[in-house]
Structure 1
Amino acid sequence: MSKIIECVPNFSEGRDKSVIEAIADAVRETPGVTLLDVDPGHSTNRTVYTFVGNPSDVVEAALNASRVAYKLIDMTKHKGEHPRMGSLDVCPFIPVQGVSVEECVAVAKTFGARLAEDLGVPVFLYGAASTRDYRKTMPQIRAGEYEGMREKLQKPEWEPDFGRREFVPRWGATVTGVRKFLIAYNVNMLATKEQAHRIALNLREQGRSPEQPGRLRCCQAIGWYLEEQNIAQISINLTDFDVTPIHKAYEEAKKDAEELSLAVTGSEIVGLVPLAAILQAADYYIQKENLFILEESQKVHLAINRLGLNTISSFNPKERIIEYCLEKDSEQKLAQSRVDQFIRNVAARTPAPGGGSVAATVAAMGAALGAMVGQMTYGKRQWEHLDADMRRLIPTLHHTAISLIPAIDADTAAFNKYMAAMKMPQKTQQERIIRETAMKTATDEIIQVPLTLIRKVNDVWDALAEMAKIGNINCRSDLQVGARCLEAGAWGAYYNVLINLENIDDVSSKAKFLSAADELLQRARKGCTTVLEAVDKREKQTS
């Protein structure tokens, strides 16, 4: 899984289009990042930029944008409705995919240190990146705003985390840190503004007062009226969708509306949303309604439908879900190439893609064939009595097949890392130490990748064996081919482990890896035999 971080810098310029566009261009021109949104505000005199990428590229984009802002924004002349303390007022980093909060903290600190060094400006940390309670939130740090920053910097307790304790008039100061992904979410109602706000007070964590808190944690909400739509809305900010997911806010709003005899007519997500948040909603409705849905695209469709996300404007997943926005800009992967092109790539005069990628491909096809047999059994009248069994067996085979797709590229990526480490300079002692460390890391990875592949193969044998005993007997050849494909994938991964063990000098580590590979392979061979014997037994019974 690739690492994706979202960065949402807020620059103190929302009126001069040339400045706004120059900062946007600095982000666009940074390799490896995708600019998703530019949202200027005239009255606030502030523009919020949203871009995503891997950790190192996101830092470079934020620095490039800051360098442009340093030249074009003069805080001595800035006025606006929104509280602010600097040209780059705040620059949060948000984990989206494959990245922990701790990794984002490291990214924020890297950015803060480099910004202070490059531009000579003071930088403060906030949120999870800050270790001091009195300067952890934006309101705490921003108190006094730009106008009070010169005096604030002179106080010992307000020494910046990065940079000198010197006021830079044209810049001010910057805050950077980490926050969870904030989802701006509105629930549509046929109601008055006051009725919508009444429900908002019931829901939001703050509630009506400290004595009357609301029901939903990590939830901010108010009620307002949209004259152009002639509807009311509960405007909600979900500051941690793992604590309070979208569907929870929607269902709780519907519950209160029903008690007041008010109609909820759908909802809308403002801006972009992580795929995980949409799949959370889908899984909730699948469980609630006892549905059987496996495909991600169908889950997304279900969530959009149940939440009424198309009520006011069209919710296009390709344009609104972050991971899907990135797909069109991502480099072509082996797993995304056509079958004929993949075969040509394997047949080319290059060491990768090679046996490891082929093994992963074959194994994925084996699991997929098992899932197919289940699908060819499920929902058919003659095997209706097996529907509950198919609902139990198909997901294991389906999800394993899908999870093996990234392994096709993982083997090639691991091999390329190993080759890159091999080519590192080793003229000095320091260079030799760095190369040796990189080589060890790369060697471990090229062994762990095939071991992980065999483990995934072994996850499906029980389900496939049961499928062989009760599934659609007309698909018996598919079960046989599937079992052989899975076994071949395991053998391919095993051979990759063996050849890469030659690069390990440590005898105990080599023995440990070999023992693990032998044990996993034996499990795969036994699993394949069990499936084939079950098919043979049924074939004899029906002949």
Structure 2
Amino acid sequence: MASGSKRLVECVPNFSEGKRKEVIDAISTAIRDTEGCTLLLVEPEASANRTVYTFVGDPVSIVEGAVNAAKVAHSLIDMRKHKGNHPRMGALDVCPFIPVSDVTMEDCINCSNEFGSRLSKELNVPLYLYEYSCTGGDHRRTLPQIRAGEYEGLKDKIIKSEWTPDYGPAQFVPSWGATVTGARPMLIAYNVNLLGTKQQAHRIALDIREQGRGPDNPGKFKCVRAIGWDLEDKGLSQISINLTDYKTTPIHAAYEECVRIAKDLKLAVVGSEIVGLVPLEAVMLSADYYIQKESLFIYKEEQKIRLVIERLGLSSLSYFNPKEKIIEYCIGSTADGPLVSSSVRDFIESIGSRASTPGGGSASACIASIGSALATMVGLMSYGKREFEGIDGIMRETILPLYDAMEQLIPIIDSDSTAFSSYMDALKMPHSNDEESTKRSLAMQEGLKRAIEVPLGLMRKAHSCWPHLFVLAEHGNKQTMSDLQVSASSLHCGVFGGYCNVLINLKGVTDTQYVTEIRQEVEQILAESQDNSDKVQKLVLKRL
């Protein structure tokens, strides 16, 4: 990030301008030029006459970026001239703040209040707080509630006592309207494309959205808001959906239901689109759905993403680039650490240096990940060929958990080298009086427990591979049995390394119950790991 900070807030301001390139670019520049902010995505839509911007930054920078963008919009957008098919009430219609990493919802509430306070003072415009920032009562908690009546109805609405703005003047500002800001969880803005009319799209929207057609006739899905509109420049209509909790209603659930209803209406759905960014987890939920539904064998992340793009038709209007649309890829949170990214030579030579890290923990994680990788290779070498058709089903069930174990063990190579940092930070805390000494001691104990969690996680994950190695030893390609033997020895070596690291940190923990429970667990894992390694070797030898 531009600021180098790991504390990240996402801001997704929606401006009421989607046609004039010079205005869209000017707002982009204001965000991009704000120190500490990184502009990730700009998505103008001419029919809606609206542009959605997505940028991230630390809690201080993100507010500055939003204020800078709003100032530009204030000078260039006049709501008296605005027309578009998306509901709106202001030049900067809505400006949510969303926690991404190492920040809380409370941090984002503070961001929204700081933004509201500054904008009202600097531009003299009204602002409303919504979602988690709302303080005005349940009748004005959600965006649709506040935006009801839109810009055209704001003049009469804003003077009512129950609609007094949270910030700024309680009067209509014709050129601006009003802005809604607040803190909310990650929301997915999702549109399903329909070869039909606006009215038909809205009919489907009413069927799927939580509100439905009213209190007595709710829609099918929880945490879904939806309306129908035309995309005149594209020659189709859209069911415009906000998924406010993608775990409650995943993307694929909304899409499949739209397809089903459209089919009953003799209408065609022609793909869909995601506006803004989408969490990787949401894409993986849809991938798992289609993999299970169609009995597919797909285990690599990039292949799962491609499956979702194809099944949902996410590139039907414009190319869906995962690197630009999936938030973890945009902010680099899926990037490998420095050790994993280094060459084999550099990694080994760094272990062989005078530095204390990387050490035995990182080496153990590397060896264990190699063990699971070798087992994965044996599974793949025993799958997909005519001679192995009889065991295809067995291999499918075996390869996936081994591949997942490999993917989860690799990051531990880096995380082990930093696992002790919390304890070292605690050592530096002041301890000149009893209160400071108590805080320092508690922090040291928490630091030690965190340092234990990493090698303990290594042991648990490596240990989970054994049942699958047994299957490979009995059914796998005979030509790969030597690789399986190395795999078994590597996994056990990784377990032993994790065991040693747990014990050395456990010595400093004063919580006797915790010490007893952890010691019992790791000793059991180590003993079983040795037995399992021996068992694999014996099974292999019987087949050779």
Measured against the shorter chain, the TM-score band is 0.7 to 0.9
In the alignment, structure 1 residue 187 sits paired with structure 2 residue 193: yes
Matched residue of 1:267: which SS? strand
Paired letter, 2:222: R
Task: Decide whether aligned partners of structure 1 residues 430 and 311 sit closer, same or farther in structure 2, where only a CA change above 3 A counts.
Answer: same
Counterpart of 2:62, as a letter, is A
Residue equivalent to 2:3: none
Q: Is this contact kept in 1: 2:13–2:66, CA < 8 A?
A: no
User: Which residue of structure 2 aligns with residue 326 of structure 1?
Assistant: 331
Maintained 8 Å contact 2:127/2:165: no
Question: Can you list the C-alpha shifts for 1:373-408, whole angstroms capped at 9, x where unaligned?
Answer: 111111222221111111222222111111112211
**Kept in 1: contact 2:208–2:257 (CA 8 A):** yes
Output aligned runs, 1:45-444, within 5 Å.
Answer: 48-52=52-56, 57=58, 59-65=59-65, 68=68, 79=79, 91-94=95-98, 104-112=104-112, 126-128=130-132, 130=134, 132-138=137-143, 175-189=181-195, 191-327=196-332, 332-427=337-432, 431-444=436-449
Secondary structure class of the residue paired with 1:388: helix
User: Cα offset for 1:472?
Assistant: 1.3
Residue 27 of structure 2 corresponds to residue 20 of structure 1:
yes
Q: Please, which runs of 5 or more residues in structure 1 have no aligned partner?
A: none
Q: Decide whether aligned partners of structure 1 residues 230 and 40 sit closer, same or farther in structure 2, where only a CA change above 3 A counts.
A: closer
Q: Which shows bigger deviation, 520-529 or 468-477?
A: 520-529
Q: What is the CA–CA distance in structure 2 between the aligned matches of 1:143 and 1:333, rounded to whole Å?
A: 50
The residue type paired with residue 306 of structure 1 is: R
Instruction: Give the Å deviation of 1:286.
Output: 1.2
Q: Name the CA distance, whole Å, in 2 between partners of 1:279 and 1:354.
A: 34
3-state DSSP class of the match of 1:186? Answer: strand
Residues 1:457 and 2:465 aligned together: no
Offset at residue 296 of structure 1 (A): 0.8
CA distance in 2, matches of 1:429, 1:120: 46
Report the residue type matching 1:355 in the other structure. Answer: G
Question: Structure 2 CA distance, aligned partners of 1:42 and 1:232?
Answer: 14
1:513 is displaced (CA, Å) by 3.2
Alpha-carbon distance in 1 for matches of 2:316, 2:179: 42
Gap change, CA 1:437 and 1:74, over 3 Å in 2 = farther
Distance 1:265 1:338 in 2: 45
Say which is worse superposed, 383-392 or 17-26, in terms of deviation.
17-26
8 Å CA contact 2:43, 2:53 repeated in 1: yes
Match of 2:495 in 1: 490
Q: Distance in 2 between matches of 1:374 and 1:381?
A: 15
- Alignment partners' CA distance in 2, 1:511 and 1:436: 20
Tell me the alpha carbon deviations over residues 231-279 of structure 1, each in whole angstroms, 9 at most, x when there is no partner. 3433333333223222222222222333333333322223322222222
User: What amino acid is aligned across from residue 60 of structure 1 in structure 2?
Assistant: V
Contact map agreement 1:185 1:238 (CA 8 A) in 2? no
Q: Report the secondary structure of 2:400's partner residue.
A: helix
How many Å apart are 1:84 and its aligned residue?
5.6
Distance 1:88 1:362 in 2: 53
Shift of the alpha carbon at 1:201? 3.6
* Cα distance in 2 between the residues matched to 1:232 and 1:90: 23
The reply on whether 1:448 has 2:453 as its aligned counterpart is yes
Amino acid at match of 1:443: L
Over residues 455-474 of structure 1, what are the superposed CA-to-partner deviations in whole Å (9 max), with x where a residue is unaligned?
A: 11111111211221121121
1:9–1:62 Cα contact (<8 Å) kept: no
Pick closer, same or farther for the CA change 1:5–1:401 going to 2, 3 Å: farther
Aligned to 1:35: 39
More displaced, 491-500 or 116-125? 116-125
CA separation in 2, counterparts of 1:231 and 1:172?
Answer: 30
Closer/same/farther in 2, CA of residues 338 and 183 from structure 1, 3 Å limit: farther
| Alignment-mate amino acid for residue 414 of structure 2 | D
Contact 2:132 2:182 in 1 (8 A): no
Q: CA deviation at 1:5?
A: 5.0
Q: Secondary structure at the match of 2:487?
A: helix
Say whether the 8 Å CA contact 1:245–1:281 is kept in structure 2.
yes
Structure 1 residues 485 and 385: alpha-carbon distance in aligned structure 2, compared to 1, 3 A threshold: same
State the distance in 2 between where 1:481 and 1:49 align: 51
- The letter for the 1-side match of 2:130 is Y
Deviates more, 1:177-186 or 1:123-132: 123-132
Deviates more, 1:443-452 or 1:413-422: 413-422
Counterparts of 1:195 and 1:119 in 2: how far apart (Å)? 40
- What amino acid maps onto 2:38 in structure 1? T
Separation (CA, whole Å) in 1 of partners of 2:317 and 2:68: 37
The aligned counterpart of 2:537 is 532
Instruction: Determine if contact 1:34/1:329 at 8 Å carries over to the other structure.
Output: no
Q: Does 278-287 or 66-75 show the bigger shift?
A: 66-75
8 Å contact kept, 1:359–1:490: yes
1: distance between equivalents of 2:74 and 2:236?
Answer: 41
Stretch deviating more after TM superposition (215-224 or 459-468)? 215-224
How far off is 1:117 after superposition? Answer: 8.7
Q: Is the 8 A contact 1:458 1:527 kept in 2?
A: no
Cα distance change, pair 43–310 in 1 and its aligned pair in 2 (3 A): closer
Classify 1:265/1:79 alpha carbon distance in 2 versus 1 (closer, same or farther; 3 Å).
Answer: closer
Matched, 1:518 2:529: no
Structure 1 residue 359: deviation in Å? 0.9
- Comparing 316-325 with 342-351, greater Cα deviation is found at 342-351
Q: Are the aligned partners of 1:69 and 1:88 in contact in 2 as well (CA < 8 Å)?
A: no
Question: Secondary structure, in 3 states, of the residue corresponding to 1:464?
Answer: helix
Alpha-carbon contact 2:158-2:164 (below 8 Å) kept = no
**Within 1, Cα distance between the matches of 2:13 and 2:303?**
34
C-alpha separation in 2, matches of 1:333 and 1:25: 27
| Farther-moved stretch of structure 1 (293-302 vs 62-71) | 62-71
Aligned to 1:277, the other structure's residue is in SS state: helix
CA deviations on 1:336-369 (whole Å, 9 max, x unpaired) are: 3332232233233321121111111111111111
